[in-house]
Amino acid sequence: MTPQDASRTLREICARAPVIPVLVVQDATKARPLAEALIAGGLPALEVTLRTPAALDTIRAMADVSGGIVGAGTLITPEDVRTAKAAGAQFGVSPGATDGLLAACEDEGLPLLAGSATATEAMRLFERGYDIQKFFPAEAAGGAPALKAIGAPLPQIAFCPTGGVSPANAGSYLTLPNVPCVGGSWVAPSALVTRSAWDEIEALAREASALEGAT
């Protein structure tokens, strides 16, 4: 998969809803009902971070849920890419980008939302063909004002801000013309997942799916 094809696919995924839930799942038996609640709430694109032993089994379970698009987050190495793709991930997300990671995603045909935090990093990815990227860590890197400033000379690049994004500040990102969506963990807090509070998670997802972006 070329970077251009990957970017087209990711733009379509990011256009599905204003929020991509960032999921840290400890128990894979929760995967299916969690995905069903989020999808029912209007958030079809799901990022499962590879931070727990249950992550790959979670991706496998969520890949079978109708209406969803499951991705693997925290991709660091080429091996992460291969195992995530084999588990059923349809896209990947990384905190940064290395040549090895980008090559692995291109070889495996896994669209990658690669992380950038500066104009130079964004330009390097764009030069390779990636015109939609993850802005990370969003709040620590300057928040919406920084992304607005980066976007002014680089209008060709779209971003999905992640890292410190919450209901309180999501709107400040989504009103930017270079932000089709944000990534956030607030729609599936661990306490609600632990007690299988699927109705509450679906309600949070509905609120998130109603967030308004740039017109």
Residues identified as active-site: 47, 134
C-alpha span between 50 and 18 (Å, rounded): 22
Sheet holding 182-184, edge to edge: 112-113, 91-93, 69-73, 45-49, 19-23, 182-184
Instruction: Give the three-state DSSP class for 21.
Output: strand
Degrees, nearest 5: CA angle 89-159-38: 45
For residue 177, give Cα distances in angstroms to 12, 102, 160.
16, 26, 11
Tokens of 134: 């993850």
C-alpha span between 202 and 208 (Å, rounded): 10
Residues 38 and 188 sit within 8 Å (Cβ to Cβ): yes
C-alpha span between 47 and 42 (Å, rounded): 15
